[in-house]
Structure 1
């Protein structure tokens, strides 16, 4: 028997989990379909703007950010503010927290499930998965770069390249000149890419990403050495 919902949400990241929380809180019958199982790792520095904080239920904050450094070809441009302008979260914890709050409001969650196709008719939307078919009045596509939702509604997108990245978490006491309220985004340290440093609780999240085929490991080693990130 096909199950029917008011809304089916594909993807359980902050967008999907946040939408499910609001809809369930308003009384809608909601299903979130997530391809992984919570808590799941997510390559992300976890920076959320101050404007966005109030959109979510109260959550655990690792750091309060009051400034940032934009690096470009060896030059650094610093901006500091007196008040909090962003916060840092751990995405593995944050995403799990959000979907748990949505479930408390009555949202249904289906994990480790792959969406294969979405069929659209004038009266219903059918979400076809490897675990069955689910009908809904509305479908929200929060399924990221490889969006099945976009493909199913034949929405064309501009040609884009994949980014590849390396991200590591280093204990903050190993980091030189640690600043718990400041982030760094470094443009141009790699072709068509950037590097970053974000404080994250007891750790520092350091990474580098590019759209080019590069020897990222050696570039990353050179990046941390050139910037003297470690003692």
Structure 2
């Protein structure tokens, strides 16, 4: 017997679980479908920015989040060493956290389920169910089973099967980053700092990207690097080999394992991070796109969790509002809210993405960042901006 819901969500990651929780708060009958069996690992930097923490707090998870490894500052090597703290903003935390995606995603999925959401794991969505008018009216599982819904939220990742089946594209579809990371033990104390290494060289070129060392607690660290695909030779980079080279630049006293050892224990994971809206407009009749399926990665840093949570919360609320007031043919409210919150940031991000791909531009930018006087002026401007009005999400 075919099941029917108000909202069906493909993908149980941060965007999907946040959307499900938000829609359930409005009284909608919601189902989340994910191909994995949770808990499952997901390649990620595992860092929660202050904004990501604020979304989790608003979802009622403040107590659970407070148990994660706390981060109070960022240490940047450009290559000189300097620090910055999270800006103080009204109603916002001034700290971040680190947590593995297996733990975070399980927490979010269980939280949605506790709110009344039906959760089905090991249920792979193959594509959308489309009605006679061409509107998305549900999803079809790989098994052939159909789940009908008044609205579908595609939160099914960078390679979204729903987006692929609908052949949805965007003028901004080429903007993405490539990242690779591994979790490992290091002979160094746990810290409250996210360490960022800006100087990344490939065949003498300054890359548009950075390396990171994020403490996870208990002597474990998430170490990785990422770079954007506007660099003309990005396809020539062997990411695994490049990570190994980066590890060798870190202090020898940390006694880090070599890349071959990390490959043997299968902790090295690479992924693509779409940025700047790979599905725009972010909806079609009957369906909204969120998280990596939307291409919501933050243009400057590539941070994806906060944007996934935000887009999921807005998608869940917008879907129910549209169904209540006009029906599933028009989710313009979702587009308008994203444009109001992210439009300027992402337009500037796309320009930055193109420019920084030129090694000379990247090199000049790094020299400016390494100049203390310029850096102080830049940071003062950023902190002043952070004190301004905040969006509802």
TM superposition score category, shorter chain reference = 0.7 to 0.9
Cα distance in 2 for partners of 1:30, 1:81 equals 36
Please give the secondary structure, in 1, of the residue aligned with 2:110: helix
Cα distance in 2 for partners of 1:216, 1:146 equals 20
Consecutive unaligned residues in structure 1, runs of 5 or more = none
Q: Structure 1 pair 118/223, CA: closer, same or farther in 2 (3 Å)?
A: same
| CA contact 2:181–2:225 (8 Å) conserved in 1 | yes
Partner of 2:6: 6
CA deviation string 1:177-224 (max 9, x = no partner): x45211022234254543111111212211123453434444333323
Partner of 2:389: none
Partner of 1:222: 245
How do 1:93-132 residues align onto structure 2 when only pairs under 5 Å count?
Answer: 93-121=103-131, 125-131=137-143, 132=145
How do 1:46-61 residues align onto structure 2 when only pairs under 5 Å count?
Answer: 46-53=46-53, 54-58=57-61, 59-60=64-65, 61=67
Query: Please, which of 134, 145, 148 is the counterpart of residue 135 of structure 1?
Result: 148
Shift of 1:24: 2.2
Shift of 1:78: 2.0
Aligned-pair Cα RMSD in Å: 2.6
Cα distance in 1 for partners of 2:169, 2:102 equals 31
The alignment covers a number of residue pairs equal to 226
Consecutive unaligned residues in structure 2, runs of 5 or more = 89-93, 202-206, 256-393
| CA contact 2:181–2:222 (8 Å) conserved in 1 | no
Please give the secondary structure, in 2, of the residue aligned with 1:163: strand
Shift of 1:82: 8.6
Query: Hey, which bits of structure 1, 4+ residues long, moved more than 6 A?
Result: none
Q: Does residue 78 of the first structure (1) align with residue 94 of the second (2)?
A: no
Query: Please, which of 180, 187, 196 is the counterpart of residue 198 of structure 2?
Result: 187
| CA contact 2:16–2:155 (8 Å) conserved in 1 | yes
Greater shift in the superposed pair: 50-59 or 108-117: 50-59
Shift of 1:48: 1.8
Please give the secondary structure, in 2, of the residue aligned with 1:94: helix
Please give the secondary structure, in 1, of the residue aligned with 2:42: coil
Greater shift in the superposed pair: 159-168 or 140-149: 159-168
Greater shift in the superposed pair: 218-227 or 27-36: 218-227
Cα distance in 2 for partners of 1:168, 1:11 equals 24
More strand by share: 1
Please give the secondary structure, in 2, of the residue aligned with 1:95: helix
CA deviation string 1:88-134 (max 9, x = no partner): 22211111111112112221112222222213445761211113101
Please give the secondary structure, in 1, of the residue aligned with 2:163: helix
Cα distance in 1 for partners of 2:241, 2:139 equals 44
| CA contact 2:137–2:148 (8 Å) conserved in 1 | yes
Cα distance in 2 for partners of 1:31, 1:170 equals 38
Partner of 1:25: 25
Q: Does residue 198 of the first structure (1) align with residue 210 of the second (2)?
A: no
Q: Structure 1 pair 161/45, CA: closer, same or farther in 2 (3 Å)?
A: closer
Shift of 1:43: 1.4
How do 1:153-172 residues align onto structure 2 when only pairs under 5 Å count?
Answer: 153-157=166-170, 158-160=173-175, 163-171=178-186
Cα distance in 2 for partners of 1:19, 1:219 equals 36
Shift of 1:36: 0.9
Shift of 1:225: 3.0
